[in-house]
Amino acid sequence: MNHPVESPSIYRFGLFEADLANRELRKHGIRIRLQEQPFLVLIEFLRRPGEVVTREELRQRLWAPSTFVDFDEGVNTAVKRLRSCLGDSSENPIYIETVSRYGYRFIAPVAPVTASDKPVPVAKPSHEVVLVKPIFVPAQNKLKRSVWDHPLLRLSLIFALVVLAAIAIYGGWGRRNEIAPGTITSIAVLPLENLSADASQEYFADGITDEITTALAKLSGPKVISRTSAMQYKGTHKSIPEIARELNVGAVVEGSLERSADRVRVRVQLIRATTDQHLWAEEYDRQLSNVLGLEAEVAQDIAEHIQLQLSERQKQELARTHSIDPQAFQDYLQGRHYWALRTPENLAKAVEYFNRAIQEDPNDARSYAGLAHCYTVLPMLTGTLQSEMVGKAKAAAKKAIALDDSLAEAHLAIAEALLYHDLDFSKRGKRIQEDSGAQPKLFDSTPMVW
**pLDDT tens sequence across 413-428:** 888 877 776 554 444 4
Q: pLDDT tens digit string along 314-323?
A: 666 666 665 6
More confident residue, 142 or 117: 117
pLDDT of 433 higher than 60: no
Predicted confidence band of residue 282 (pLDDT cuts 50, 70, 90): confident
Query: Terminal CA-to-CA distance of the chain, rounded, Å?
Result: 57
- Average pLDDT estimate for 348-370: 92
Range among 116-120, 282-286, 399-403 with highest mean pLDDT value: 399-403
CA distances from 55 to 63, 95, 106, 278 (A): 12, 17, 13, 31
User: Is 337:203 a contact under the CB 8 Å cutoff?
Assistant: yes
Q: What amino acid is encoded at 393 in this protein?
A: A
Angstrom distance (rounded) from CA 109 to CA 401: 58
How many CB atoms are located within 10 Å of the residue 264 CB? 23
Tell me whether the omega of the peptide bond preceding residue 181 falls within 30 degrees of 0, making it cis.
Answer: no
pTM: 0.53
Domains and CATH numbers, the chain: 10-113 (1.10.10.10), 186-319 (3.40.50.10610), 326-443 (1.25.40.10)
Helix (H) or strand (E) holding 294: helix 291-305
